[in-house]
Amino acid sequence: MITVTVFRSDGHVDSLFIEGHSDYAEEGEDIVCAGVSSLAVTLANGLTEIAHIPTVECAVEGGFGHIVLADGLSPAQRAQADLLMNTFTLGFQSLAASYADDVSIIFANGGEQHD
């Protein structure tokens, strides 16, 4: 099972952590793992390379992903970070809805849990 934990504070997604493997199919043929990985890598690249949002941690590899935004973002950075983080959170929710046995998304800090 892949677990995506989304941490929110003050209405903003500040970080997310991805852990695990789906075991939907054999390695190299697992579309669920590929979907989660693709979303995570694209989010990381969008934040760091396109929007230039400062991060404390931004790594996605080997079944794990940790993306933590830096504190003190400017209003413009916060708006861009919100757009990206919320868009990709919706993508993870869609995967969790379609592959409920393989992907779980948890919202922390006052959010709700979807299994």
- Domains recognised in the chain with CATH numbers: 2-109 (3.30.70.1490)
Measured at the CA of 83, the angle between CA 81 and CA 20, to 5 degrees, comes to: 75
Q: What tens digit of pLDDT does each residue of 41-65 get? A: 999 999 999 999 999 999 998 779 9
Q: What is the pTM of this model?
A: 0.88
The pLDDT value recorded for residue 110 is: 52
Measured at the CA of 85, the angle between CA 83 and CA 89, to 5 degrees, comes to: 115
The pLDDT value recorded for residue 62 is: 79
